Amino acid sequence: MKLVKISVTLLVVFLALGSCKRKEKKEKLSESITFKKPNIVYILTDQWRGSALGYAGNPDVKTPNLDAFAKESVNFTNAVSVTPVCTPHRAALLTGKFPTTTGMIVNDLYLPAEELTMAEIYKAEGYNTAYWGKWHLDGHGRSTYIPKERRQGFDFWRALECSHNYTKMPYYDNDNQELKHWDKYSPFAIVEDVNQYLAAHAKDTSPFLAVVSIATPHYPHESAPKKYKDMYPPESLTLNPNITEEFKERSRKELQGYYAHATATDEAIGRLLDQIKKLNLSDNTIVVFSADHGEMMGAHGVKPFVKQLAWDESIRVPFLIQYPGINNQKGAVVNAPLTTPDILPSLLSLSNIKIPEGIEGEDLAKLMKNPDPNADRAALVMNVAPFGANFKDAPYRAIKTKQYTYARTPEGPSMFFDNVKDPFQINNLLGKPELAAIQKELDSQLNERLAQIGDEFESRDFYLKKYNYIFDEKKHAIPFWGFNEGTGKNKGFGQGKAIIQSPKPVK
């Protein structure tokens, strides 16, 4: 009898061990499937305000493809551009660092060679890397050929430093130094090329990082295709209550072309999203749709085309992210703000890639995987050295939370808005006695964010001197730079000189 009991006990133990091993094996297999490195498709548009989309509640603009995509994605409703102008945003996106750290504080600068970038990190992890469209990080002239060693880790290359000629957009094709032109409206042409790339890499064993930089709906707005402009008669367009009387007529005119570009670009993006599905890439591809900044469009008495300011029209951008395993989170909303340096560490975390030391943005992958509309945080925004049309504006540092925007210039607090109660930011709450505690708390949060990145909020001149930039007082800008290979210095085209780090060695 004892022998039978022992045998039964041994059998139970044996079966239990076998079950545990099978379970462990199954978990390991599941883990290996879960952590298969995903492809990344990052769709970066230019000057697309966070409010200028159908899914964001805009009553006029037609964006059916992105509206549908929003229902399949996680929507960060309070995403902001860390510095709402092209070059600083793009540098922060690729490095995960703030402009005060990299020196990328104005347009048309060369991203320092020593900075570790998105493409270099992914490339080291076995990714194919590809880039299309507007670059604006080379600083050697807007139409100058960019050799491979200055492409910051991107191997496949059909891009140009900067152009907004959407009907005859120039670009360079990889290592061919002859300037080419897309043969149709650039968003359509670029997406066609991207779709060919995806088809060629759909069955590769190596994952890919594809950054698709589409320059619309940035002005000029009159160049939008007529078919789409006809959809938006100016007199039919809704104006926000914060657009001042002096800009109402002009804003309607500009909105016609702005929305036309947006709708045409939405159609192009729809073709790209359809290709991802057609090639069965959806189950292992992270797709992001965003923009580098917005624009004022006559709000608060600021003329159309202007950005750089801390108003929502300028800083708030769309940010939709779809990633493998999102099925139970489709259409989820996150109201906690996200700022540009947060994007790289979050993508790396979702890709199961170690986040390098020195990256300053916060990893928000957990919030992307488990969206919580009630979560909150303080996202940092800055303009270190306003330039061009914004030259007379004061530098600022600001934070945005789920509910508030708070900003400070060297002269003191300048903005305090309750964006929930006052979405058009008409009622500045600074100095209200009943809100003194909230203002003090926001100021404390701003100081904490600045301390985290070692920014003491100095004057514009301090940073220009720190990075050896010479300012063109007549043009209110740092000149476009030509590069002197012999000295490792940038030289202005007869407008001044500056020293920026030399290019990266060929890898």
- Active site residues per annotation: 86, 136
Closest by CA position to 81, among listed 315, 344, 289: 315
- Taking the C-alpha atoms of residue 79 and residue 290, their distance in angstroms, rounded to an integer, is 9
Contact between 483 and 140 under an 8 Å Cβ cutoff? The reply is: yes
Longest dimension (CA), the chain: 103
Closest by CA position to 90, among listed 77, 79, 104, 100: 104
Who's near 436: CB < 8 A, 6+ residues apart? none
Residue in the structure block whose two tokens are 């029209």: 313
Count of C-beta atoms within a 10 Å radius of residue 140: 19
- Taking the C-alpha atoms of residue 259 and residue 261, their distance in angstroms, rounded to an integer, is 5
- Taking the C-alpha atoms of residue 426 and residue 15, their distance in angstroms, rounded to an integer, is 70
Contact between 291 and 317 under an 8 Å Cβ cutoff? The reply is: yes
Closest by CA position to 146, among listed 136, 223, 389: 136
Calculate the alpha carbon distances from 492 to 214, 479, 498, 502 in Å: 28, 6, 7, 15
Who's near 24: CB < 8 A, 6+ residues apart? none
Q: Across-strand partners of 481?
A: 492
Contact between 363 and 355 under an 8 Å Cβ cutoff? The reply is: yes
Calculate the alpha carbon distances from 219 to 160, 256, 308, 467 in Å: 17, 11, 15, 30
- Taking the C-alpha atoms of residue 90 and residue 161, their distance in angstroms, rounded to an integer, is 12
Contact between 55 and 319 under an 8 Å Cβ cutoff? The reply is: no
